[in-house]
Amino acid sequence: MQQLRVHPLPRLVAESDLAGSTVVVIDVLRATSTICQALTAGATEVVPFLEIDEAIAAAESDRANVVLGGERHGKRIEGFDLGNSPSEYTPTSVGGRRVFLTTTNGTRALDHARQAGRVVVGAFLNLSAVVASVQDEPHVDILCAGTDGRESREDILAAGAIAERLIAHDRSSWKLDHAADAALAEWQTRSDELAVEFRSTPGGRNLLAIDMERDLADCARINALSVVPTLDTARWRITGNCQQRRNP
Protein backbone atom coordinates (compact mmCIF):
# COMPACT_ATOMS: atom_id res chain seq x y z
CA MET A 1 0.00 0.00 0.00
CA GLN A 2 1.22 3.49 -0.88
CA GLN A 3 1.67 5.93 1.99
CA LEU A 4 0.97 9.67 2.03
CA ARG A 5 1.97 11.90 4.93
CA VAL A 6 1.53 15.65 5.28
CA HIS A 7 3.75 17.79 7.49
CA PRO A 8 2.28 21.26 8.17
CA LEU A 9 5.71 22.63 9.16
CA PRO A 10 9.31 21.44 8.76
CA ARG A 11 9.91 21.50 12.52
CA LEU A 12 7.15 18.92 13.01
CA VAL A 13 9.13 16.20 11.22
CA ALA A 14 12.74 15.15 11.69
CA GLU A 15 14.94 15.28 8.60
CA SER A 16 15.76 11.60 9.14
CA ASP A 17 12.05 10.71 8.94
CA LEU A 18 12.06 11.93 5.34
CA ALA A 19 15.06 9.82 4.34
CA GLY A 20 14.39 7.71 1.26
CA SER A 21 10.90 9.12 0.72
CA THR A 22 9.63 11.21 -2.17
CA VAL A 23 9.09 14.66 -0.70
CA VAL A 24 6.94 17.36 -2.26
CA VAL A 25 7.98 20.73 -0.82
CA ILE A 26 5.27 23.39 -0.86
CA ASP A 27 5.53 27.13 -0.23
CA VAL A 28 2.62 28.47 -2.25
CA LEU A 29 3.21 32.10 -1.22
CA ARG A 30 5.67 32.24 -2.81
CA ALA A 31 8.96 30.36 -3.15
CA THR A 32 7.79 27.17 -4.84
CA SER A 33 5.48 29.10 -7.14
CA THR A 34 8.38 31.34 -8.09
CA ILE A 35 10.68 28.38 -8.73
CA CYS A 36 8.10 26.88 -11.10
CA GLN A 37 7.80 30.19 -12.94
CA ALA A 38 11.57 30.74 -13.14
CA LEU A 39 12.21 27.36 -14.76
CA THR A 40 9.28 27.79 -17.13
CA ALA A 41 10.71 31.17 -18.15
CA GLY A 42 13.99 29.55 -19.15
CA ALA A 43 16.23 29.65 -16.09
CA THR A 44 18.77 26.86 -16.43
CA GLU A 45 18.55 26.00 -12.74
CA VAL A 46 17.49 27.38 -9.38
CA VAL A 47 19.90 27.03 -6.47
CA PRO A 48 18.35 27.51 -3.02
CA PHE A 49 20.31 29.19 -0.23
CA LEU A 50 19.54 29.60 3.46
CA GLU A 51 21.40 32.86 3.96
CA ILE A 52 21.78 36.06 1.97
CA ASP A 53 25.57 36.19 2.34
CA GLU A 54 25.90 32.63 1.06
CA ALA A 55 24.00 33.45 -2.12
CA ILE A 56 25.99 36.61 -2.75
CA ALA A 57 29.33 34.86 -2.22
CA ALA A 58 28.39 31.96 -4.51
CA ALA A 59 27.34 34.36 -7.28
CA GLU A 60 30.59 36.34 -7.34
CA SER A 61 32.51 33.95 -9.58
CA ASP A 62 29.80 33.89 -12.28
CA ARG A 63 27.84 37.07 -11.66
CA ALA A 64 27.01 37.77 -15.32
CA ASN A 65 25.19 34.45 -15.58
CA VAL A 66 23.50 34.46 -12.17
CA VAL A 67 20.27 36.15 -11.14
CA LEU A 68 20.07 36.82 -7.41
CA GLY A 69 16.48 36.48 -6.23
CA GLY A 70 14.73 36.38 -2.92
CA GLU A 71 13.11 38.20 -0.04
CA ARG A 72 13.21 39.06 3.60
CA HIS A 73 10.00 40.26 5.26
CA GLY A 74 8.41 39.72 1.85
CA LYS A 75 10.46 42.40 0.11
CA ARG A 76 13.31 42.18 -2.37
CA ILE A 77 16.69 41.95 -0.68
CA GLU A 78 18.87 45.03 -1.11
CA GLY A 79 21.31 44.53 -3.98
CA PHE A 80 19.42 41.55 -5.42
CA ASP A 81 18.16 41.49 -9.00
CA LEU A 82 14.68 40.15 -8.25
CA GLY A 83 12.37 39.59 -5.33
CA ASN A 84 10.10 36.60 -4.76
CA SER A 85 7.14 37.43 -7.00
CA PRO A 86 6.53 34.91 -9.81
CA SER A 87 5.75 37.73 -12.25
CA GLU A 88 9.31 39.04 -11.97
CA TYR A 89 10.73 35.82 -13.42
CA THR A 90 10.37 36.31 -17.14
CA PRO A 91 12.32 35.03 -20.15
CA THR A 92 14.00 38.44 -20.30
CA SER A 93 15.06 38.48 -16.66
CA VAL A 94 16.11 34.85 -16.16
CA GLY A 95 16.19 33.09 -19.53
CA GLY A 96 19.44 31.14 -20.03
CA ARG A 97 20.74 32.12 -16.58
CA ARG A 98 21.04 30.50 -13.16
CA VAL A 99 18.84 31.74 -10.31
CA PHE A 100 20.27 31.82 -6.79
CA LEU A 101 17.28 32.06 -4.46
CA THR A 102 16.98 32.70 -0.74
CA THR A 103 13.64 33.16 1.02
CA THR A 104 12.33 33.25 4.56
CA ASN A 105 10.45 29.94 4.49
CA GLY A 106 10.64 28.04 1.22
CA THR A 107 14.37 27.54 0.83
CA ARG A 108 14.56 26.39 4.46
CA ALA A 109 11.91 23.76 3.79
CA LEU A 110 13.94 22.54 0.82
CA ASP A 111 17.02 22.28 3.02
CA HIS A 112 15.01 20.23 5.53
CA ALA A 113 14.39 17.61 2.82
CA ARG A 114 18.08 16.96 2.11
CA GLN A 115 17.90 13.30 3.09
CA ALA A 116 14.92 12.47 0.89
CA GLY A 117 15.19 10.00 -1.94
CA ARG A 118 13.59 12.50 -4.29
CA VAL A 119 12.51 16.11 -3.80
CA VAL A 120 9.86 17.72 -5.99
CA VAL A 121 8.80 21.36 -5.85
CA GLY A 122 5.04 21.75 -5.72
CA ALA A 123 2.53 24.59 -6.01
CA PHE A 124 -0.95 25.19 -7.35
CA LEU A 125 0.68 26.35 -10.57
CA ASN A 126 1.95 22.83 -11.38
CA LEU A 127 -0.54 20.76 -9.37
CA SER A 128 -1.43 18.12 -11.97
CA ALA A 129 2.15 17.78 -13.17
CA VAL A 130 3.37 17.09 -9.62
CA VAL A 131 0.63 14.54 -9.01
CA ALA A 132 1.48 12.70 -12.22
CA SER A 133 5.14 12.73 -11.24
CA VAL A 134 4.67 11.13 -7.80
CA GLN A 135 1.52 9.03 -8.16
CA ASP A 136 3.44 5.73 -8.47
CA GLU A 137 5.82 6.36 -5.57
CA PRO A 138 5.43 4.05 -2.56
CA HIS A 139 6.07 6.76 0.04
CA VAL A 140 5.12 10.42 -0.49
CA ASP A 141 5.67 13.13 2.10
CA ILE A 142 4.26 16.62 1.55
CA LEU A 143 6.36 19.16 3.43
CA CYS A 144 4.70 22.54 3.93
CA ALA A 145 6.97 25.53 4.52
CA GLY A 146 4.51 27.57 6.56
CA THR A 147 4.93 31.26 7.30
CA ASP A 148 7.35 32.50 9.94
CA GLY A 149 7.11 29.26 11.88
CA ARG A 150 3.32 29.07 11.71
CA GLU A 151 1.13 26.77 9.67
CA SER A 152 -0.23 28.56 6.64
CA ARG A 153 -3.54 27.55 5.11
CA GLU A 154 -2.47 28.03 1.51
CA ASP A 155 0.13 25.29 1.92
CA ILE A 156 -2.39 22.99 3.63
CA LEU A 157 -4.85 23.59 0.80
CA ALA A 158 -2.22 22.64 -1.77
CA ALA A 159 -1.39 19.51 0.19
CA GLY A 160 -5.08 18.62 0.25
CA ALA A 161 -5.40 19.20 -3.48
CA ILE A 162 -2.48 16.85 -4.13
CA ALA A 163 -3.99 14.24 -1.80
CA GLU A 164 -7.36 14.42 -3.55
CA ARG A 165 -5.82 13.78 -6.94
CA LEU A 166 -3.52 11.01 -5.75
CA ILE A 167 -6.37 8.96 -4.30
CA ALA A 168 -8.88 9.77 -7.03
CA HIS A 169 -8.43 6.59 -9.06
CA ASP A 170 -7.98 4.06 -6.25
CA ARG A 171 -8.52 5.24 -2.68
CA SER A 172 -7.89 1.74 -1.34
CA SER A 173 -4.27 1.75 -2.53
CA TRP A 174 -3.33 4.75 -0.37
CA LYS A 175 -2.85 5.04 3.38
CA LEU A 176 -3.15 8.66 4.55
CA ASP A 177 -1.94 9.88 7.91
CA HIS A 178 -4.09 12.13 10.09
CA ALA A 179 -2.56 15.34 8.71
CA ALA A 180 -3.17 14.20 5.13
CA ASP A 181 -6.81 13.47 5.92
CA ALA A 182 -7.11 16.89 7.57
CA ALA A 183 -5.55 18.64 4.56
CA LEU A 184 -7.90 16.78 2.23
CA ALA A 185 -10.90 17.89 4.28
CA GLU A 186 -9.62 21.48 4.30
CA TRP A 187 -9.30 21.45 0.52
CA GLN A 188 -12.78 20.03 0.06
CA THR A 189 -14.33 22.82 2.13
CA ARG A 190 -12.59 25.69 0.31
CA SER A 191 -14.36 28.40 -1.60
CA ASP A 192 -14.22 28.52 -5.39
CA GLU A 193 -11.84 31.48 -5.44
CA LEU A 194 -8.38 30.55 -4.18
CA ALA A 195 -7.00 34.07 -4.35
CA VAL A 196 -9.75 35.16 -1.97
CA GLU A 197 -8.92 32.28 0.37
CA PHE A 198 -5.29 33.43 0.41
CA ARG A 199 -6.25 36.87 1.70
CA SER A 200 -6.93 35.43 5.17
CA THR A 201 -3.88 33.18 5.50
CA PRO A 202 -0.68 34.27 7.31
CA GLY A 203 1.25 34.37 4.06
CA GLY A 204 -1.51 36.18 2.25
CA ARG A 205 -1.93 38.79 4.96
CA ASN A 206 1.81 39.47 4.89
CA LEU A 207 1.67 40.13 1.16
CA LEU A 208 -1.37 42.38 1.43
CA ALA A 209 0.45 44.41 4.07
CA ILE A 210 3.26 45.21 1.61
CA ASP A 211 0.97 45.87 -1.39
CA MET A 212 1.69 42.62 -3.20
CA GLU A 213 -1.89 41.51 -3.74
CA ARG A 214 -1.12 40.58 -7.33
CA ASP A 215 0.97 37.67 -6.10
CA LEU A 216 -2.10 36.07 -4.53
CA ALA A 217 -3.79 35.78 -7.92
CA ASP A 218 -0.59 34.73 -9.66
CA CYS A 219 0.01 31.89 -7.20
CA ALA A 220 -3.62 30.72 -7.28
CA ARG A 221 -3.60 29.73 -10.97
CA ILE A 222 -4.21 25.98 -10.83
CA ASN A 223 -2.32 24.04 -13.52
CA ALA A 224 -1.01 27.13 -15.25
CA LEU A 225 2.37 25.41 -15.68
CA SER A 226 3.48 21.88 -16.52
CA VAL A 227 7.00 22.00 -15.10
CA VAL A 228 8.08 19.52 -12.41
CA PRO A 229 11.04 21.13 -10.62
CA THR A 230 13.23 18.48 -9.03
CA LEU A 231 15.97 19.14 -6.49
CA ASP A 232 19.18 17.22 -7.10
CA THR A 233 20.31 16.93 -3.49
CA ALA A 234 23.83 15.81 -4.43
CA ARG A 235 24.55 18.75 -6.73
CA TRP A 236 22.14 21.03 -4.86
CA ARG A 237 20.28 22.53 -7.76
CA ILE A 238 16.72 22.48 -9.00
CA THR A 239 15.99 21.81 -12.66
CA GLY A 240 12.76 21.25 -14.51
CA ASN A 241 11.19 18.03 -15.74
CA CYS A 242 14.07 15.81 -14.75
CA GLN A 243 13.76 12.54 -12.86
CA GLN A 244 16.27 12.32 -10.06
CA ARG A 245 17.77 8.94 -9.31
CA ARG A 246 16.67 7.79 -5.89
CA ASN A 247 19.26 7.66 -3.15
CA PRO A 248 20.27 4.12 -2.21
Sheet of 229-232: strand order equals 75-76, 66-72, 98-102, 45-48, 237-240, 229-232, 118-122, 22-26, 139-144, 2-7, 174-176
Asked if the model's pLDDT at residue 243 lies above 50, the reply is: no
Cα-Cα-Cα-Cα dihedral of 236, 222, 155, 216, to 10°? 100
Q: Residue 146's pLDDT is what?
A: 97
Segment 47-76 mean pLDDT: 97
Q: How many CB atoms lie within 10 A of CB 211?
A: 8
Asked if the model's pLDDT at residue 61 lies above 60, the reply is: yes
Q: Which residues are 26's β-sheet partners?
A: 122, 144
Q: Mind listing the pLDDT tens digit for each residue in 137-165?
A: 999 999 999 999 999 999 999 999 999 99
- The pLDDT confidence band at residue 192, using thresholds 50, 70 and 90, is confident
- Using a pLDDT cut of 90, give the percent of the chain over it: 94
Residue type present at position 11: R
Domains of the chain from N-terminus onward: 2-239 (3.90.1560.10)
Asked if the model's pLDDT at residue 76 lies above 60, the reply is: yes
Q: Residue 178's pLDDT is what?
A: 98
Beta strands (DSSP E) in the chain are 2-7, 22-26, 45-48, 66-72, 75-76, 98-102, 118-122, 139-144, 174-176, 229-232, 237-240
Q: Mind listing the pLDDT tens digit for each residue in 165-186?
A: 999 988 999 999 999 999 999 9
Distance of CA 127 to the CA centre of its chain: 11
Q: Residue 241's pLDDT is what?
A: 73
Confirm if 214 and 87 have CB atoms less than 8 A apart.
Answer: yes
- Using a pLDDT cut of 70, give the percent of the chain over it: 97
Q: Residue 248's pLDDT is what?
A: 33
